[in-house]
Amino acid sequence: MDENILQVAASWLFQHEKIAVLTGAGISQESGIPTFRGNDGVWKHYRAQDLATPEAFARNPELVWEWYLYRRQLVREKKPNPAHYALVRLKNLKQKTELITQNVDGLHRRSGFGEHTEMHGYLFRDVCTRCSWEREDYESHEKIPHCPRCGSMMRPGVVWFGESIPEKAWQHFHRLSRECELLMVIGTSQVVYPAAALSQYVRQRSAYVIEINPELTTSCQGKSIYLGYKAGFILPKLIDELEKLFKKTREVDR
């Protein structure tokens, strides 16, 4: 591993305040949750258009719910990994760090990161298809949950293909794309929009980008560092380096 590049990345984090982090399925891979694309990706074995679109739900709500109950069961058994916890450490050191995740697994919640945006929703949420009443639902196993208020069918509180992301998520996304000084992109193939556009906007402004992904996804021009490793391996090391820089300045101040 190139220690130098890690130190440069840490110095970039040290020097900037407005840090944005975008995460994707790759950050949860080491927790044992399969990613969507790639060799063993979910969309290799299942067709997204049968399971994760409004049309699929209209056609066969029972099948779609079966899929999401299966996903819930899978995720309930998993835990945040060292990459999720490294981001909590980053936030403690750099308090203006803001996080947007494409993941619906809630592992950033469970790691204790605090406030962040789930731009594709949350797996353990039910939303009424008629009156929009919603609830968090961690345990229930109903085949198709019904709204306690109006009796209509509920749907999973996630964003499906062809749907737009929630308004609040849009606003956060746009603010970060305009304002962040440094963007970290972790574990995302960057093919699903609008998430994929974030690094493009940030690069256009000539702001800094650090990408963590065992596979290269975008070209690294300009002020970019690419760390081609698994997030659970490299992120804790990166934050160790950042901590060292904080310690050094404290010693100099004394």
Of the residues 120, 141, 146, 174, only one is catalytic, namely: 120
Q: Which of residues 37-56 bind ligand OAD (CB under 6 A)?
A: 37-38, 41
Q: Which of 227, 231, 197 is nearest to 83 (CA)?
A: 231
192 sits near ligand OAD (criterion: CB under 6 A): yes
Q: Which of 19, 39, 20, 21 is nearest to 29 (CA)?
A: 39
CA distance 209 to 223: 6
Q: Which stretch binds ligand OAD (CB under 6 A): 33-41, 91-99, 133-141, 147-155?
A: 33-41
Contact of residue 36 among ligand OAD, Zn ion, none (CB under 5-8 Å per partner type): ligand OAD
Residue placing its CB nearer to Zn ion in the complex, 154 or 202: 154
Residue placing its CB nearer to ligand OAD in the complex, 44 or 244: 44
Question: Which one among 6, 10, 36, 118 touches ligand OAD, defined by CB under 6 A?
Answer: 36
57 sits near ligand OAD (criterion: CB under 6 A): no
CA distance 219 to 208: 14
Residues in a beta bridge with 146: 153
Contact of residue 41 among Zn ion, ligand OAD, none (CB under 5-8 Å per partner type): ligand OAD
Residue 167: half-sphere exposure toward Cβ, Cα within 13 Å: 0
150 sits near Zn ion (criterion: CB under 5 A): yes
Residue 11 CB, nearest distance to ligand OAD (Å)? 22
207 sits near Zn ion (criterion: CB under 5 A): no
159 sits near ligand OAD (criterion: CB under 6 A): yes
Token match 């927790």: residue? 31
Contact 81, 232 (CB under 8 A): yes
By CB under 6 A, the count of residues binding ligand OAD is 26
CA distance 115 to 174: 17
Amino acid at 59: R
Catalytic residue ranges: 120
